[in-house]
Amino acid sequence: MTTNTIQPTNFDIVMEEIDTLVSNFQDSLTRITNKVCKVDTFQLGLTYVVILRAGKISKTLSFNLDELTEELNLEVIDDTFNR
């Protein structure tokens, strides 16, 4: 019996890293403001936008998904050649 494993794509890896970053940011805003931090996300083309709001404080983060996946591709290529 063979087992097929699904490898995450570069896009999956980038989105997981963004999710971790946003989660940490959300936790920090909650601690700083002592208010629940709400998160809204949307995508405009290749730009992924995250808006965090806690009390009177808000922060907008934007990520160029094309740049991030390309950067990840370059790191993988560089790592492969440096072995």
Please write the tens of the pLDDT for every residue from 21-60.
999 999 999 999 999 999 999 999 999 999 999 999 999 9
> Are 72 and 13 within 8 A, CB to CB?
yes
pLDDT at 6: 82
Share of the chain above pLDDT 90, in %: 67
Amino acid (1-letter code) at residue 81: F
Checking if the pLDDT of 76 tops 80, the result is: no
- pTM higher than 0.85 for the full model? no
Going from N- to C-terminal start, the domains of the chain cover 10-78
CB neighbour class for 28 (10 Å; exposed up to 12, middle 13-18, buried from 19): middle
Q: Which CATH number fits domain 10-78: 1.25.40, 3.30.160, 3.30.450, 3.40.50?
A: 3.30.160
Checking if the pLDDT of 7 tops 90, the result is: no
pLDDT at 3: 75
